[in-house]
Structure 1
Amino acid sequence: MFSEDQLADILAALPDPAFILTRSGCYAAIFGGSDLRYYHDGSGLVGKSLQDVLHAEKAMWFAKEIEKALSSHQLHIVEYGLAGSDVKGLEGGPSNVIWFEGRVQALNFQVRGEDAVLWVASNITERHELETQLRSLSERDPLTNLFNRRKLLAMLEDQHELFNRYKIPTAVFIFDINDFKKINDQFGHLMGDQALQAIAQSCIAELRAPDMAARFGGDEFVIVMPHTDQNQALSIIERLSASIEKTTAAIGFANGIRISGGLSEIFSGDTSVDEVLHRADEKLYQEKEAGRRRMSELPPLEKT
């Protein structure tokens, strides 16, 4: 139906590059990649191996995905990122990660004496960035950029499951702003919003990488501290509280804003995360009732 030259032209016209990769990771052939907006000429890869082109960790990842496709003999679809740091000898390459969807299919014949796959790589960077933005919007509080209630509850569910399986402790701290209503009434909601944003900055600055800060609603925040029991969490809370006073003082509240909080952790008898949050919330209101750490009067707003 088509001559060999016509078939070669058809393969060369494929917008996305199609690689023939052997089980050992050799680039046996490359077709397509004609969409020059997203791809460079890859013909120089033919005859090289994944280990020649990529650093060890990334080359190993590709080898495992090739093996999965060869084992299943079904279409294997993966999403992956490639950065300049993944490629050997690449200077002046893109600093950002480029994302691809790989469609990998085992071939019914051997290439260069080895089992092989057809790997079609489609550049999905724009789609991936859009999905990341949409996911962030669905998980973040727009005012503070902390996680929102939905994301918080999902993480707590994960930690509850980990505790049930492996007894990994997780501390939970709920806090709110003392006399927040007075701040809004006396200084206006704009100043109240600035206070919430300053508290979020303290959370981001003072918490550890595994910790999670969320705005639970209004002026109420929740901190989740994995691999941490209540006693271990105390020093983190003290540091956070001091940082909040300092940060809010810097935006105009004399002596800074103080918080009241309740601390709990996941226990063996907890059947849901609601029980953990309820315990912490009860301790928060017990602290308020006792009058500890409450402002006796709202400090004046400093003029700047």
Structure 2
Amino acid sequence: MSDALKHTYSHLEAIASAMPDPIFIMGQDGTYLDIVGGQERTLYADGSTLIGKKYHQVLPEKMADRFLKVVQKSITSNTLQEIEYQLSNSDVNGVSEGPSGGQWYEARVYPVQGDSYGQPAAIWLAINITSRKHMEEQIEHLSSNDPLTNLYNRDFFLDLLNEELNRAKMNNQPLSLIKINLDCFKNITDGYGHEMGDKAILGAAHAIEKVAKEMGPIGRLSCDQFMIALPEVKAVDAYRIGKLIQEKITGYKFKLDDGTTTCLTSHAGVTELRHPDEDSQILFKRVNEAIQNLSGTREVIKIQ
């Protein structure tokens, strides 16, 4: 080998070794044949101990099967394959150091040309995408949840309600709806500001969750309006649940800025699915009518 070629090879080797992301050489027979790069220990464990071992010796069985299938498909089809997967150091026998907890990776797999490794092989470029995954999860969460209470927002709750309605119709099962309006919210925000208003909303949300969290989807429809969908629950039973929620809401007391203590009050409406052709808008209309019909009475909850 000429000095110039040795110099070029030395440079390429230094560059490859300095790569923060690892490139594995994966054998068609399921063997880790080599590794280049992957020196960034905040993102990757030391994979050098895997060399010479079979996928099924170091990985969980299902993951090893998946890896082998991807590698063999890339080699036999001579095409680029892409895969996303989650692993932690504890899942891989023999690795050390590296990040803690489950990590998400995106791999690009492409066949190696020639017979340098004594068998058909593919390069496996692994990139840690855990931060991106967490960001995607946060964005998805914000698209479905109210940022203050963490209850479902209006649009997502309506989607869930429609799903529950379809399921109830298909299985010929009951489904009830409870709507709760806070009476005192506007007075609190007008008199003491939005921070106290938020405190009132959180108190009501926590009270609702204490009673109905495991019963069905809970949504915050607007600043002071909540709704609970109750699959497999008839209106008469939903009425009792609604009364219990109202008691919890009233039992929540907090101090205002002037030192006085106040409690929250509410009105609630209840309805249920009555005919197979009813949709969420019909149930919405009825539950709102129930609350409207409480006006001028001493009642605080009504079935419509």
1:280 alignment partner AA: F
Partner of 1:100: 105
Partner of 2:300: 294
Tell me which of 11, 14, 17 is aligned to 1:12. 17
Partner of 1:245: 247
1:105 alignment partner AA: Y
CA-CA distance at 1:82 after TM superposition: 2.2
Q: Deviations over 1:268-291 (max 9, x none)?
A: 546xxxx31431342342254155
| Preserved contact between residue 44 and residue 98 of structure 2 (Cα < 8 Å) | no
Distance 1:184 1:165, change over 3 A: closer
Partner of 2:142: 137
Distance 1:96 1:6, change over 3 A: same
Partner of 1:285: 289
2:269 alignment partner AA: G
Distance 1:261 1:69, change over 3 A: farther
The SS at the match of 1:216 is strand
Q: Distance in 2 between matches of 1:143 and 1:126?
A: 24
Q: Distance in 1 between matches of 2:114 and 2:171?
A: 50
Q: Deviations over 1:48-94 (max 9, x none)?
A: 23332233344444445546656765433333332345334779975
Q: Deviations over 1:115-138 (max 9, x none)?
A: 543221111222333333333334
1:46 alignment partner AA: I
Q: How does 1:187-226 map to 2 (within 5 A)?
A: 189-207=194-212, 211-224=216-229
CA-CA distance at 1:43 after TM superposition: 0.7
The SS at the match of 1:222 is strand
2:202 alignment partner AA: Q
Q: How does 1:165-176 map to 2 (within 5 A)?
A: 171=175, 173-176=177-180
CA-CA distance at 1:151 after TM superposition: 2.8
The SS at the match of 1:11 is helix
Partner of 2:269: 261
Distance 1:247 1:268, change over 3 A: closer
Q: Deviations over 1:219-249 (max 9, x none)?
A: 2223345xx33439946x7457525532551
CA RMSD of aligned residues (A): 4.3
| Preserved contact between residue 203 and residue 240 of structure 1 (Cα < 8 Å) | no
Q: How does 1:47-126 map to 2 (within 5 A)?
A: 47-63=52-68, 65-66=70-71, 69=74, 73-88=78-93, 95-107=100-112, 116-126=121-131
Tell me which of 276, 283, 292 is aligned to 2:280. 276
Partner of 2:183: 179
Q: Deviations over 1:167-220 (max 9, x none)?
A: 697946341225244565677654443232123224444445694322111222
Q: Distance in 2 between matches of 1:16 and 1:26?
A: 20
Partner of 2:232: 229
Q: Distance in 1 between matches of 2:246 and 2:76?
A: 55
Tell me which of 127, 133, 137 is aligned to 2:132. 127
Q: Distance in 2 between matches of 1:65 and 1:170?
A: 47
> TM-score, normalising length from structure 1?
0.70
| Preserved contact between residue 19 and residue 30 of structure 1 (Cα < 8 Å) | yes
2:232 alignment partner AA: D
* Unpaired segments ≥5 residues, structure 1: 296-304
CA-CA distance at 1:34 after TM superposition: 3.0
The SS at the match of 2:199 is helix
Aligned length: 287
| Preserved contact between residue 174 and residue 281 of structure 1 (Cα < 8 Å) | no
Distance 1:247 1:265, change over 3 A: same
| Preserved contact between residue 46 and residue 98 of structure 2 (Cα < 8 Å) | no
CA-CA distance at 1:17 after TM superposition: 0.5
1:35 alignment partner AA: E
1:289 alignment partner AA: N
Distance 1:12 1:142, change over 3 A: same
Distance 1:195 1:25, change over 3 A: farther
CA-CA distance at 1:26 after TM superposition: 2.5
2:252 alignment partner AA: A
